[in-house]
């Protein structure tokens, strides 16, 4: 079979993850003095990133005062680079067939439930529902199953989704989270105009990885860990990394994740566009009491803050695996994208819509934030944030090595803030409740004041009026 021989040809060792170095860095970091650590926090406030040794020092912090300093620095850096904007997205599960047996996952092969994938009509129904909630950006999710869910099925889904226009709704960016694959498949995903190719490493610790992935193509650590390399070789310059926190020591995982990011930057001249921070949740066949490395809320907040300081320009993505109040707090420390009103089952959005007696689709894992879109938007606004449905960057070609210089010189501020305002305005007119709309208009007038360039401000105001008059999809 083409895929298997191609896999063998494209196989590379993931030798950029250097476990011994990580262990040594964490050991050395235990001897870093309080003053030295305070200096690292000070340096981090300049938003120039951190070395692995500096990151290790912050990971070892337990002193409450130093921790408060880390949180304050992360908040400062977050605001300087991202302002008060938070980008919204929703996951869309299209197939739960899987040939892997990942111990932590509800979709593991050994779990018995009625597997399914969306038909074209079902996909259209799901997407219309997501569009009627106001979503413009999706993360397409599948289990791994070459026969039931081949790349052609994924490409058909992408094509169908981009083609669905429901009232004023449209999906303008599809990020894709599918299993590690061959370069040719990545080329085809690129040609289908995906946004980010996202793949979580789950754990970078080889021994734990092998234990967690006993069967299937995903069991090959090297194949999985070099997937982003192949994606980039296939022309995708926008990739997302992630760790499933709770499988192994979080300090090790954070340093390995940064080694991975550094490797991509070195090899391709551009690091990951995003990092996701999923945390282990209950799921069918998963007993959390058997996981010794579960991460506490305090440590999880520390992870987010340290990542923000270590890679200030990389988007940080948080899902509904976390509780509402905690999600608000994490936005302060560095999260720049959140999912909202999510379902983690195939056909889950339609099921939610039906009567309460309808059978729940099998979920990949349990979610903690079950609020409606309107509730999430209200709480984002109440916390002083500006919700954004912006998808302009990749449509304007601001990806990969064209994105970073813009971001680093602060230029992106002149486009992100107005684009957030314009897309939020669309949301308010098309989807918000009357109360939400009232609150949102207030938020827009406050955030307009933060557009420094008078020309851009005038143009934004003009475009806001055009949106009132029925224009849609205006962006800088
Ligand atoms: N099939 C792809 C793969 O092999 O990577 C897609 C992954 S899946 C649809 C998305 C992610 O959900 C996984 O990469 C994993 O990190 C996460 N996940 C799986 N089980 C989970 C659980 N019990 N709790 C929280 N997240 C989980």
What is the per-residue pLDDT across 275-300, written as a single tens digit (0 to 9) for each? Answer: 999 999 999 999 999 999 999 999 99
Is the CA virtual torsion 385, 391, 397, 401 positive or negative?
positive
Contact yes or no for 116/224 (Cβ under 8 A): no
Distance from residue 105's CA to the centre of ligand 1 (Å): 6
Output the CA torsion 270→304→344→348 (10° steps). Answer: -100
What the block records as the tokens of 146 is 């070459």
Q: Is the shortest distance between the CB of 218 and ligand 1 below 6 Å?
A: yes
Distance between first and last Cα of the chain: 46
Q: pLDDT per residue over 374-429, tens digit each?
A: 999 999 999 999 999 999 987 888 877 777 777 776 667 788 999 999 999 999 99
Question: 372 by DSSP, 3-state: which?
Answer: coil
Rounded Cα distance between 104 and 285, Å, is: 8
* Residue 256: its H or E element: helix 250-268
Rounded Cα distance between 112 and 285, Å, is: 10
Q: Is the shortest distance between the CB of 177 and ligand 1 below 6 Å?
A: yes
* Residue 313: its H or E element: none
> Looking at ligand 1, which residue's alpha carbon is closest to its atom 18?
105
Q: Is the shortest distance between the CB of 317 and ligand 1 below 6 Å?
A: no
Residue 365's pLDDT is: 86
> Looking at ligand 1, which residue's alpha carbon is closest to its atom 3?
179
Q: pLDDT per residue over 188-223, tens digit each?
A: 999 999 999 999 999 999 999 999 999 999 999 999
Residue 410's pLDDT is: 65
Residue 21 CB neighbours (<10 A) = 13
- What is the residue extent of each domain of the chain? 2-16+84-393, 19-78, 403-468
Contact yes or no for 374/427 (Cβ under 8 A): no
Q: Is the shortest distance between the CB of 202 and ligand 1 below 6 Å?
A: yes
> Looking at ligand 1, which residue's alpha carbon is closest to its atom 25?
280
Distance from residue 111's CA to the centre of ligand 1 (Å): 15
Residue 179's pLDDT is: 98
Q: Is the shortest distance between the CB of 286 and ligand 1 below 6 Å?
A: yes
Contacts 24+ apart (CB under 8 A), 353-358: 353/129
pTM of the model: 0.96
Rounded Cα distance between 383 and 403, Å, is: 28
According to CATH, the topology of domain 2-16+84-393 is: TIM Barrel (3.20.20)
Residue 1's pLDDT is: 59
Q: At what angle do helices 64-82 and 324-333 cross, to 10 degrees?
A: 80
**To test ligand 1's pocket by mutation, which of 244, 281, 300, 367 has the most ligand atoms within 8 angstroms of CB?**
244
Question: 202 by DSSP, 3-state: which?
Answer: strand
**To test ligand 1's pocket by mutation, which of 94, 247, 344, 365 has the most ligand atoms within 8 angstroms of CB?**
365
């Amino acid at each position: 079979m083409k895929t298997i021989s191609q896999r063998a040809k494209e196989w590379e060792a993931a030798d950029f993850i250097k476990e011994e170095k990580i262990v040594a860095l964490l050991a050395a970091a235990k001897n870093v003095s309080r003053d030295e650590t305070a200096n690292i926090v000070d340096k981090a406030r300049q938003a120039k990133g951190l070395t692995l040794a500096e990151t290790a020092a912050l990971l070892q912090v337990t002193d409450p005062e130093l921790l408060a300093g880390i949180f304050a620095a992360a908040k400062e850096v977050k605001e300087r680079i991202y302002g008060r904007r938070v980008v919204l997205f929703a996951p869309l599960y299209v197939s739960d067939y899987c040939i892997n047996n990942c111990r932590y996952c509800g979709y593991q092969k050994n779990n018995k439930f009625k597997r399914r994938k969306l038909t074209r009509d079902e996909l259209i129904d799901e997407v219309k529902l997501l569009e009627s909630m106001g979503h413009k950006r999706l993360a397409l999710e599948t289990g791994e199953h070459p026969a039931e869910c081949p790349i052609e099925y994924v490409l058909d889904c992408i094509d169908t989704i981009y083609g669905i226009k429901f009232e004023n709704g449209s999906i303008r960016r599809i990020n894709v989270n599918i299993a590690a694959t061959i370069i040719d498949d990545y080329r085809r995903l690129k040609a289908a105009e995906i946004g980010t190719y996202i793949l979580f490493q789950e754990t970078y610790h080889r021994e734990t990885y092998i234990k967690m992935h006993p069967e299937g193509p995903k069991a090959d650590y090297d194949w999985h860990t070099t997937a982003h390399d192949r994606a980039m070789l296939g022309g995708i310059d926008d990739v997302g990394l992630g760790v499933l926190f709770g499988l192994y020591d979080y300090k090790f995982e954070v340093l390995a994740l940064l080694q991975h990011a550094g490797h991509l930057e070195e090899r391709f001249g551009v690091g990951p566009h995003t990092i996701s921070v999923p945390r282990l949740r209950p799921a069918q066949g998963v007993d959390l009491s058997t996981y010794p490395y579960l991460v506490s809320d305090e440590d999880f907040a520390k992870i987010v803050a340290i990542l923000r300081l270590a890679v200030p320009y990389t988007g940080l993505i948080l899902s509904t695996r976390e509780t509402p109040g905690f999600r608000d707090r994490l936005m302060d420390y560095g999260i720049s994208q959140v999912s909202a009103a999510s379902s983690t089952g195939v056909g889950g959005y339609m099921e939610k819509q039906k009567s309460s007696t309808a059978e729940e689709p099998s979920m990949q894992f349990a979610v903690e934030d079950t609020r409606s879109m309107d509730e999430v938007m209200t709480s984002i606004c109440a916390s002083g944030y500006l919700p954004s449905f912006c998808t302009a960057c990749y449509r304007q070609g601001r990806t990969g090595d064209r994105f970073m210089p813009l971001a680093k010189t602060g230029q992106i501020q002149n486009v992100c803030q107005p684009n957030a305002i314009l897309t939020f305005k669309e949301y308010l007119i098309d989807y918000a409740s009357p109360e939400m709309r009232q609150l949102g208009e207030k938020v827009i007038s406050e955030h307009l004041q933060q557009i420094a360039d008078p020309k851009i401000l005038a143009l934004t105001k003009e475009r806001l009026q055009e949106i009132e008059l029925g224009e849609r999809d205006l962006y800088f």
